[in-house]
Structures are given as structure tokens and as C-alpha cells.
Structure 1
Amino acid sequence: MRHPETIETLSRGRAFVDATADMLERVRRIRARRPSPSGRVIPEVDGTLRLTDMYIAPGTIAHSTDYRELAADIMAAIHESTRDAVRQHKLAIEDTAWPEIPEVQWVARRR
């Protein structure tokens, strides 16, 4: 038979692991898609800030007369999508219902 404090500690540990798993699942579902200033490019950035997909409107590359302008348009869209993914990531962390962890002498707390 386990000591009641051991049972309580294991229960709190499971609650923390479950809260972390829920938060990570919300992060995994993040997909940020923000169009470029021209609207011709829409990248997709995930919750770990990876570029996972990119839509380029038909004819955009063929009709582009200045590759620097097209590159700037693409980079602006990636930047905005990344900023939105960061915002969503922060919300996923902030919205997580973390269990109470009691203060104990032998565990140093970072502040």
C-alpha cells in the first residue's frame, strides 16, 4: 500500500503531464495562413514555426517582372504568418490550465 502523500504526488504528476500533453496537442494543430501584401502568396506556418505549405496564385511567377518584388512579397507573407503562429502558440500556453504544484523545501523554484 502506498503512502497517501505518494498517491497525491503521483496524481499531481499525472495532472501536469496531461495538461502538458493537451497544450502540445493544441500547438500541433496551429496553422497560420496570412496572405502577402499583393494577396498572390499565402504561406502556411505551423505551431513550431515551420513553413509547411505555400500557395502561389496561378500566373504569379510567370507574370512577375521583378524577382525582388516577388521575393519581398513572399517573405512578407511568411513573416506575417510566422507572427500569427507565434501569437497562437503563446495563447495555447497561456490558456493551459496548469495544476497546482505545492511548494516543497527540496525543490528550487525559478522566479
Structure 2
Amino acid sequence: MIQKHVFVVYAGPHEAGRVFHALIHAKQVHGRGDHAELYFAAEGTHWPAMLAKSDHPMNSLFSEMLESGVISGACAACANAFGTADEAKEAVGLVQGPEASFGQIDIIGMNDDGYHVWLF
């Protein structure tokens, strides 16, 4: 039975370890054939632009997850709040959550829909 997982990166710009673990676990889930989605939210919206740089140590992993469709985007509300909207939009695109969560990524709704929710 295919399982559904969502990984949300909240990690700030100086928390590379948390970002690495989110990416590697998403890769693991995707690689075994389960459904995986990865989002960047809050301070985590700083990461897409950093990871998109070809000289970043996690660029190849980031690019692989982006090309596979696992990376689903960055929270638009968060990116606007943290001043990262233009860069995040260019790197991964922006997603808008429902009104009930004030536009935030709807982790409660995802949980209700049977996703395992992982926060990094």
C-alpha cells in the first residue's frame, strides 16, 4: 500500500542539517515508491534560493528532488512575510494554503487526508 508523506522545512538559514534531513528522507520515501511532497515554509523559504545555487553542497540533492516533482513549492504567505517571495518563486514556485490556515501550508488538512506530516 502506497503511503503519503509531506515534509515541511521550517529551518532557518543556519540550520543546514535539518534541511538535509528533510531532503534525504523525502528522497528515501520517493525512492521506495511512496508519495512524497516537500514544502518550504516560514524561515525555510530562505532555502530554495540558496539550494538552487550550483555551488551549494546540497544543490544536486535539491535539483534531483525538484526534477522528480517531490518539491512542491514554498509557502506564499511565509515567503512574503520573510521577504523571500521573489527568490522562492523563481526557485520552486509559491503555493497558497487555504483561508482557514491564513494562507499557510495546510498541514492539518494534509494530516486529515492521510499524510504523514514531517516538520524540519
TM-score with structure 1 setting the length: 0.27
TM-score with structure 2 setting the length: 0.25
- Answer 1 or 2: which has greater strand percent: 2
Larger of the two Rg values belongs to structure: 1
